[in-house]
Amino acid sequence: MARPAYQAIKDYLVGQIRSGVWKEGDLVPSENDLVRTFGVARMTVNRALRDLSADQVLVRVQGAGTYVGPPVYQSTLVEIRSIADEIRDRGHQHSAVVLVLTKEPDGPGAGFRSVLVHQEDGVPIQVEDRWVNPALAPGYLDQDFTLTTPNEYLVRVAPLERVEYRIEARLPPDQIRHALTMDEGEPCLLLHRRTFSKGQAASVVDLWHPGNRFRFTGHF
Partner DNA sequence: GAGTGGTCTAGACCACAGG
Partner DNA sequence: CTGTGGTCTAGACCACTCC
Number of residues that bind DNA (CB under 7 A): 28
Q: Is 60 a residue that touches DNA (CB under 7 A)? A: yes
Radius of gyration of the chain (CA): 20
The single residue among 15, 30, 42, 43 that binds a copy of itself, judged by CB under 8 A, is 43
For 59, residues 6+ apart whose C-beta sits below 8 A from its C-beta are: 53, 66, 67, 68, 69
CA dihedral 25, 30, 34, 40 (to 10 degrees): 140
118 binds, among a copy of itself, DNA, none (CB under 5 to 8 A by kind): none
Q: Is 70 a residue that touches DNA (CB under 7 A)? A: no
Q: Is 188 a residue that touches a copy of itself (CB under 8 A)? A: yes
Site for DNA in 19-38 (CB under 7 A): 28, 30-33
Q: Is 40 a residue that touches a copy of itself (CB under 8 A)? A: no
Closest CA to 162 of 136, 134, 115, 199: 199
Least distance (Å) from a copy of itself to the CB of residue 105?
25
19 binds, among a copy of itself, DNA, none (CB under 5 to 8 A by kind): none
Least distance (Å) from DNA to the CB of residue 102?
26
Q: Give the span between the Cα atoms of 124 and 97, in whole angstroms.
A: 10
Show the beta-strand stretches assigned E in 45-179.
58-61, 65-68, 74-75, 94-104, 111-120, 123-132, 162-170
Binding site residues, a copy of itself, CB under 8 A: 43, 54-56, 72-75, 77-79, 162-171, 185-190, 209, 211, 214-220
